[in-house]
Structure 1
Amino acid sequence: MSTTVNTNNTTNNAAATATGSSSADLQNQFLKLLVAQLQNQDPTNPMDNAQLTTQLAQISTLSGIENLNTTLGSISGQLTTSQSLQASTLVGHGVMIDGSGILVGADSSTTPFGVSLDNASTTTTVTIKDSTGAVVRTVDLGAQSAGVHSFSWDGTNDAGTAVAEGAYTFTMAATSASGANVVSTPLQYAAVYGVNTNATGGTELNLGLAGNITLDKVRQII
């Protein structure tokens, strides 16, 4: 009975002096408890070897996970830095993003527009409208392969007259050889003015009035 009491007291003292949650702290706690238990264990009821092995394996696993997390954190930081450097090369260039806007300048110059097709089409038609919703130009783009395509508009209406300066919108319609509709996503042009870091540490492109977007939203670089 005396031996048991001394064992409990020694174990409690060892546990009280070792606190923490990291693998190193747990290892220190375990070793102190192990030494205390070996010094004071009951000879008639020795420590279970299987339990000791399990505890050692758990500590080793925790240490490995901590090292893995540290390594992954370092890799993530390097990838973020690399992504920012790559994104900076886009400053001054144009990109195609999801959207249906076209801008017409005073000299009838226009921003590019585009489409992303899920499948190949045999007929592809773009309809351009002014700010009131009136159709000003309909263009047959013919057959197009699946993927991203960009086009330019000469800034004239169906009568061949230059349209007024301002903002226009467009819609796309595409069909396959069987006559079925092909899923199409309209794309608009935006200029890249800078590179930002968002609240989560990710890299974003500053597109001015078009807002900020992440790199995965860029469909094409002009």
Structure 2
Amino acid sequence: MAISDTSSISGLNAATAASSGSNVSQADSEQRFLKLLVTQLNNQDPLNPMENAELTSQLAQMSTVSGIERLNTALSGLVNQTGANQVLQAASLIGYNVLSPGNALSTSEPKAGEEPAAVPFAVQLPATAGTVEVKIVNAAGNTVRTLSLGSMTEGVNAVTWDGKADDGTAAAPGTYSFTVSATNNGTPVEATSLVFSQVAAVKQGASGVTLELMSGQSIGLADVRMFL
């Protein structure tokens, strides 16, 4: 809660400061314009005075500049408010597991007499694939398990690894990576690997709001496919 409160206050202060700066700039511009206009009127040629159309044109230009400055001020406030709302939304994900791009899987030592814990992950496809294969590789680069998943549809497809190697034994506890190969009638289909990781913290920086995961990875809100 402290993170979201601090970010909201900072956003409010920034919006106030931006508004004050814009007001000063606008007032200065109007004063300079009026001073130049009065000087121009005082020094015009009596035999060739400024025409009404020319005067109207100059006033319209000043009105346009003033309107643009007010629009910029309004947009600046809207951007600051949006940033604060994003922080609040992101903070609500702390403690949840989110599904985002990645390819790291972890297994733990099963209890005596029990099967290894299943490891969930997912594959995202831009189109239907007739054949999808996943290779799970250990830290030494050796393939531990090959999963032939058959066909998959467009979108996010849930996958589960039972924690076993190809020979049916439990894979050694540790961290693994996986690759996805997808084709449709012999044509490669670009696949995105997705993994679950718990959200540890939320950070707001110059590039926007990011989620800091327990895996050590930083992702944006747009990278989240699902949370549970």
Partners of 1:182 and 1:41 lie apart in 2 by: 74
Contact 2:119–2:163 (CA<8 Å) still a contact in 1? no
The one-letter code matched in structure 1 to 2:196 is: Y
Structure 1 residues 206 and 110, CA gap change in structure 2 (3 angstroms): farther
- Please tell me the residue identity of whatever aligns with 1:148: V
Correspondence for 2:187 among 180, 202, 207: 180
Where does residue 42 of structure 1 map in the other structure? 45
* 1:20-35 equivalence runs, <5 A: 22-35=25-38
Return the alpha-carbon distance in structure 1 between the equivalents of residues 61 and 71 of structure 2: 15
Aligned pair partner of 1:104 in 107, 116, 130? 107
Deviates more, 1:109-118 or 1:130-139: 109-118
- What does residue 204 of structure 2 align with? 197
Residue 60 (structure 1) shift: 0.8
Instruction: Return 21-30 or 71-80, whichever deviates more.
Output: 21-30
Q: Does 205-214 or 32-41 show the bigger shift?
A: 32-41
Report the alpha carbon displacement of residue 140 of structure 1 after superposing the two structures with TM: 1.7
Deviation per residue, 1:153-204 (Å, 9 max, x gap): 111111211111001111111121x221111111222211121112x17211
Aligned residues: 201
1:93 paired residue number: 96
Cα deviation, residue 50, structure 1: 3.2
Gaps of 5+ in 1: 1-20
- Between the aligned partners of 1:37 and 1:165, the Cα distance in structure 2 is 84
Residue-by-residue CA offset, 1:58-82 (whole Å, 9 max, x unaligned): 2111111111111111111111111
The structural deviation recorded for 1:134 is 1.4
Distance 1:165-1:51 versus aligned 2 partners, 3 A rule: same
Matched, 1:74 2:82: no
For 1:26 and 1:32, locate their aligned partners in 2 and report how far apart those are by CA, in whole Å: 10
Q: Find the aligned partners of 1:187 and 1:117 in 2 and give their Cα distance.
A: 11
Is residue 103–residue 110 contact of structure 1 (8 Å, CA) maintained in 2? no
Is structure 2 residue 171 aligned with structure 1 residue 163?
yes
Aligned to 2:132: 124
| Residues 205 and 212, structure 1, Cα contact 8 Å, conserved in 2 | yes
Equivalent of 1:211 in 198, 206, 217: 217
Query: Among the aligned pairs, what percent are the same residue?
Result: 44
Tell me the TM-score normalized by structure 1. Answer: 0.82
| TM-score, scaled to structure 2 | 0.80
Q: Cα RMSD over matched residues?
A: 2.1
Q: 1:156, 1:51 → 2: CA distance?
A: 84
* Alignment partner, residue 14 of structure 1: none
CA distance in 2, matches of 1:175, 1:42: 81
Query: Is the partner of 1:59 in helix, strand or coil?
Result: helix
**Structure exhibiting the larger radius of gyration computed from Cα positions:** 1
Q: 2:119, 2:162 within 8 Å by CA — same for their partners in 1?
A: no
Match of 1:153 in 2: 161
Partner of 1:15: none
- Greater share of residues in strand: 2
Q: Counterpart of 1:142 in structure 2: which amino acid?
A: G
How has the CA–CA distance of structure 1 residues 105 and 203 changed in structure 2, closer, same or farther, with 3 Å as cutoff? Answer: same
Please report how far the alpha carbon of residue 111 of structure 1 lies from its aligned counterpart in structure 2 after TM superposition.
Answer: 4.0
| Matched residue, 1:9 | none
